[in-house]
């Protein structure tokens, strides 16, 4: 492994004196793969500029104790919809499930299940009549099990970027072709860290003072933010060292489209070029030693990069999270784009459509193109 440099933030960020960190500024300092954005662009002027469609590998079973709903929602996040469904069905909030958290300021379509065992014998619930107009029931059926988190295959994004300077159309097209060929960094997007990155300050406090009084759902969100921060740090450093897409013998790789990981050999170099395999970085937790034995150089480099972040590393282990590996590169599937006239003279609209695996962020694509997107 290449000798490690200082972390991409250049600060001893997360020792016991981490109060007052400018987390928001740090998140914007992550390295870009292609040298930086090309031009300005405005996204989400209205919800319909950001459309997300969840893709499942299965349909409703047709019978069972769970109500199955496909809902298209505008300017509501998944948790809010689940709250509404629980109240309408008169069930506990824990009886409502969905596969993946979707954006708030967007038009998103996804599945929900509502466990209602009494409903197999009683009258059905008319969710469509009782939900707000911004939540449209597209399908209502029955299912035989709850939706598990992460059970969806992918998400399709249909995005509209306004006020794109017309003179950059050719350069943007070239960059998009490169992204289609080589992928983008698999960064966690800014939404993972809360408004103004406040989750990171809260999780720092929780690691120092304990979790008494913090609800289980919030605790889960905060722990996820800490893991994501460390992951992004490693991705950024690997780009800085110009090793992002280079396979180094004896490191953990991920097989595209799966959760499978394995240790690389010389034969994997061509598979890397073809986007069939990707380098990985840790989702931090306890149990690193069993991964270290098979890839000691890689883990040693990661340990050195993350040395300043002892508060997060120790906290994640103390709270019982298990160490895992995540690919550092995102393959963009079915990427298409077009340019059209804008209401602003001299500018254009860029329309993008692509599909990402679950857990990957559209902002990772947009930040390689347009300024001000994290």
Task: Tell me the helix, strand and coil percentages in the chain, rounded to 5.
Answer: 35, 25, 40
Give 280's strand partners.
327
How far CA 230 is from CA of 14, 23, 126, 233, 356, in Å, comes to: 11, 13, 44, 5, 22
Q: Is residue 309 scored above 70 in pLDDT?
A: yes
How many residues comprise the chain? 374
Strands of the chain (E only): list them.
42-43, 50-55, 66-74, 96-98, 107-115, 135-143, 154-165, 184-185, 252-255, 261-263, 277-283, 324-327, 329-330, 333-341, 347-357
**Is 25:372 a contact under the CB 8 Å cutoff?**
no
Averaged over 205-225, what is the pLDDT?
94
Q: Is residue 362 scored above 90 in pLDDT?
A: yes
**Is 312:269 a contact under the CB 8 Å cutoff?**
no
Structure confidence by residue, pLDDT tens digits, 281-297: 999 999 999 999 999 99
Q: From the candidates 57, 103, 141, 268, which is the catalytic residue?
A: 103
Q: Is residue 142 scored above 60 in pLDDT?
A: yes
The full set of domains in the chain, from first to last, is: 23-30+187-327 (3.30.2340.10), 58-143 (3.30.2350.20)
Predicted confidence at residue 175, as pLDDT, reads: 98
Q: Is 103 a catalytic residue?
A: yes
Predicted confidence at residue 8, as pLDDT, reads: 47
pTM comes to 0.89
**Confidence band (pLDDT; 50, 70, 90) for 11?**
very low
Q: Is residue 318 scored above 90 in pLDDT?
A: yes
Look at the alpha carbons of 266, 269, 272, 274 in this order and tell me if their dihedral is positive or negative.
negative
Predicted confidence at residue 373, as pLDDT, reads: 81
**Is 52:106 a contact under the CB 8 Å cutoff?**
yes
Please give the order of strands across the beta sheet that includes 252-255: 261-263, 252-255, 277-283, 324-327
Higher pLDDT, 374 or 341: 341
* Cα separation, 70 vs 356, whole angstroms: 20
Q: Is residue 131 scored above 60 in pLDDT?
A: yes
Predicted confidence at residue 119, as pLDDT, reads: 63
Q: Residue 219 contacts by C-beta under 8 Å, 6 or more apart in sequence?
A: 206, 211, 319
Place of tokens 């933030």: 9
User: Looking at 109-123, 326-340, 349-363, which range is the least confident one?
Assistant: 109-123
Predicted confidence at residue 6, as pLDDT, reads: 42
User: What does pLDDT average to over the chain?
Assistant: 91
């Amino acid at each position: 492994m290449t000798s490690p440099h200082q972390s991409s933030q250049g600060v001893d960020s997360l020792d016991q004196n981490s109060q007052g960190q400018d987390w928001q500024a740090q998140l914007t300092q992550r390295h870009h793969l292609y040298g930086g954005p090309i031009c300005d662009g405005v996204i989400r002027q209205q919800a319909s500029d950001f459309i997300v469609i969840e893709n499942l590998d299965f349909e409703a079973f047709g019978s069972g104790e769970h109500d199955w709903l496909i809902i298209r929602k505008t300017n509501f996040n998944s948790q809010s919809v689940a709250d509404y469904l629980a109240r309408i069905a008169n069930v506990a909030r824990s009886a409502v499930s969905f596969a993946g958290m979707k954006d708030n300021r967007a038009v998103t379509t996804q599945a929900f299940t509502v466990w209602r065992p009494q409903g197999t014998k009683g009258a059905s619930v008319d969710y469509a009549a009782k939900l707000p107009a911004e939540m449209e029931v597209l399908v209502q059926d029955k299912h035989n099990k709850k939706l598990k988190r992460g059970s969806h295959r992918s998400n399709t994004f249909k995005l509209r970027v306004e006020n794109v300077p017309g003179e950059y159309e050719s350069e943007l097209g070239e960059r998009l072709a490169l992204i289609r060929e080589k992928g983008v960094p698999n960064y966690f997007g800014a939404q993972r860290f809360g408004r103004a990155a406040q989750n990171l300050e809260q999780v720092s406090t929780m690691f120092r003072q304990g979790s008494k009084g913090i609800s289980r759902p919030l605790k889960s969100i905060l722990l996820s933010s800490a893991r994501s921060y460390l992951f992004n740090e490693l991705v950024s450093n690997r780009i800085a060292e110009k090793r992002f897409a280079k396979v180094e013998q004896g490191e953990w790789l991920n097989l595209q489209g799966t959760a499978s990981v394995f240790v690389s050999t010389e034969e994997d170099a061509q598979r890397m070029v073809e986007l069939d395999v990707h380098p990985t970085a840790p989702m931090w937790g306890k149990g690193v030693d069993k991964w270290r034995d098979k890839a000691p150089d890689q883990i040693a480099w990661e340990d050195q990069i993350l040395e300043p972040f002892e508060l997060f590393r120790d906290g994640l282990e103390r709270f019982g999270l298990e160490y895992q590996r995540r690919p550092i590169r995102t393959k963009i599937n079915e990427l298409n784009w077009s340019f059209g006239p804008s209401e602003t003279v001299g500018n254009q609209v860029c329309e993008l459509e692509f599909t990402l695996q679950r857990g990957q962020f559209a902002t990772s694509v947009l930040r390689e193109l347009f300024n001000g997107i994290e």
